[in-house]
Amino acid sequence: MAEDQLDVLFTALSDRTRRDIVVRLSAGEATVKELAERYAMSMQAVSQHIQVLERSGLVSRGRHRQTRPCRLEPARLAVAASWIEENRRMWTERMDRLESRLARLQEGESR
């Protein structure tokens, strides 16, 4: 995945309200009105948060009669999780090598 796409994805997830919307949508589709009921903000403000999530690909909107329910796109979350896991693995390996090196150095000093 391109770095710009990761930037957009992590920017979308950097806001607590947007993360909360993602969690809510993991339970199923919801309209903007249903999502806005949970917050002390206008529907327009919630709609702006949803637009950020849509640009990142985390949320899409369908059409059902007169409403446009929002739905979570879990494949995009998988992209973020994959990037995090890759980096966690890399840093774990680095820390393990550092720990081994320090242990060898300490063994040399104690002789």
Q: How confident is the model at residue 111 (pLDDT cuts 50, 70, 90)?
A: low
The 10s digit of each residue's pLDDT in 46-99 is: 999 999 999 999 999 987 777 789 999 999 988 888 899 999 999 999 999 999
Provide mean pLDDT across the span 22-47. Answer: 93
* Predicted pLDDT at 1: 55
Provide mean pLDDT across the span 6-24. Answer: 95
CATH 3.30.420.40 describes domain 3-110: no
Angle 55-57-60 from CA coordinates, rounded to 5°: 90
Place of tokens 């993602």: 22
State what percent of residues in the chain have pLDDT above 70. 98
Contact 30, 100 (CB under 8 A): no
